[in-house]
A = this chain, B = another copy of it.
Amino acid sequence: MTKQDILAAFHKQLQAGGLKSTRQRDTIVEIFFELDKHISVDELLAEARQVSPRIGYATVYRTLKLLVEQGFANPRHFGDGQTRYDPQFEQGQHDHLICTDCRRIVEFEDPRIVSLLGEVAGAHGFEVTRRRLEIYASCTDTDCPHR
Q: Interface of A with B (CB < 8 Å)?
A: 77, 97, 99-100, 106, 108, 110, 112-113, 116-117, 120-121, 124-141
Q: Would you call B113 and A126 a contact (CB within 8 A)?
A: no
Kindly provide the distance from the CB of A58 to the nearest chain B CB, expressed in whole angstroms. 18
Closest B-chain residue to A125, C-beta based?
B140
Closest B-chain residue to A106, C-beta based?
B124
Known: A77-B77, A116-B112. Contact between A135 and B126, CB under 8 A?
yes
Instruction: Select one of B99, B106, B113, B134 contacting A116, CB under 8 A.
Output: B113
Dominant SS at the A interface?
strand
Residues in B with CB closer than 8 Å to A139 are 125-126
Kindly provide the distance from the CB of A122 to the nearest chain B CB, expressed in whole angstroms. 9
Known: A121-B137, A137-B121. Contact between A129 and B100, CB under 8 A?
yes
Complex Cα–Cα for A120 and B133 (A): 12
Residues in B with CB closer than 8 Å to A125 are 139-141
Inter-chain pairs besides A97-B124, A126-B135, A132-B134, 20 sampled, C-beta below 8 Å: A77-B77, A99-B126, A108-B120, A108-B124, A110-B120, A117-B133, A117-B135, A120-B135, A125-B141, A126-B137, A126-B138, A126-B139, A126-B140, A127-B138, A128-B136, A131-B134, A131-B136, A132-B136, A133-B133, A133-B134
